[in-house]
Amino acid sequence: MHNSFEGPGAAAARFTGLPATGERRLSGALAEVTLDGGRVVMVKRGEGDRAAQAEAAGLRWLADAGTVRIPAVHGHDEQWLVTDRVATGRPGAAAAERLGRELAALHAAGAPAFGAPPPGGPEDAYIGLAPMRNVTGPDWPRWYAEHRVLPYLRRAVDVGTLRREEVPVIERVCERLPELAGPAEPPARLHGDLWNGNVLWGADGHAWLIDPAAHGGHRETDLAMLHLFGCPHLDRILAAYQEAAPLADGWTDRIGLHQLFPLLVHAVLFGRGYAEQALAAAESATNR
């Protein structure tokens, strides 16, 4: 049993079998550790029960698809996750186009069901610092409403960032999801938290994905997340994706629909401004 007071260096040594020779804290939860021989790994402290387990399972599941680049997992326990470090460079057009094709292949690798967790991953997982339950459902519209949108709608009201009189605006979207969701698609293998900060542009000319909230879902959700906070060369990513795996007609009209979940998560974690964005996305979805 490991010492609950060990630091990142000791955790890295335990999981890699190599002595740690240096340690650089990047935040309260993240550190770079240099190992004997010069290799550098990332050591992350889980912020909640099963957080490290969920992230490790997600990274391995995405890597198993053999498509987009994912840092290797060296090990995890209830407290720590140790992975390879990605040496970063600058965003490039060629890397963006490659990422578009790789995302299409990742999504096509599929999942057992909507809401399915990665193999070995817990049902009670996380998206960022927020709890996220991976509970399966028979079709995307009902699953998305019941297990993504409505739980965070209730939380946003409970924490006071969304007013009770505003709730029907988003509830109406949930009621109309079967008609708004577009053609039915099979469950895709999603990164699940694919905002720009979780895309690392590697010095090797490839884009790498980190910090997943991986699960079975709708492939448009990952692309909507890329839109949410912007991403370098997004037009090239999407063009290459479309060439490899064309999206259903009207997918751009559904971006706001797929952004409802992350916007409500942000409303719970970060305040009223995101609640207002969620309301605007909901109104846009129901008015088209």
The chain-wide mean pLDDT, for the chain, equals 94
Q: Which of 4-18, 97-111, 138-152 has the lowest mean pLDDT?
A: 4-18
Q: In sequence order, what are the beta bridge partners of 23?
A: 33
pLDDT of 5:
67
Instruction: Write the CB contacts of 277 (distance below 8 Å, at least 6 apart in sequence).
Output: 259, 263, 266
Burial (Cβ within 10 Å: 0-12, 13-18, ≥19) of residue 133: middle
Angle at 220 (CA atoms; ends 219, 225), nearest 5 degrees: 110
CA atoms within a 13 Å half-sphere pointing along the CA-CB vector of 14: 18
Of 174, 193, 155, 187, whose CA–CA distance to 285 is shortest?
174
Confidence band, pLDDT 50/70/90 cuts, at residue 287: confident
pLDDT in tens, 2-51: 445 689 999 999 999 999 999 999 988 899 999 999 999 999 998 777 89
> Over 90: is that where the pLDDT of 142 sits?
yes
Mean pLDDT computed over 144-160:
96
- 102-127 average pLDDT score: 96
The predicted structure's pLDDT at residue 63: 98
Distance between CA atoms of residues 240 and 101, nearest Å: 6
- pLDDT for 184: 96
| Residues 171-224 pLDDT 10s | 999 999 999 999 999 999 999 999 999 999 999 999 999 999 999 999 999 999
Q: Which residues are catalytic?
A: 193
Residue 277 Rama label (left phi>0; alpha psi -120 to 50; beta)? alpha
**Which among 100, 51, 113 has a CA at the least distance from the CA of 209?**
100
Do 99 and 93 meet the contact criterion of CB atoms below 8 Å apart?
no
| pTM of the full structure | 0.94
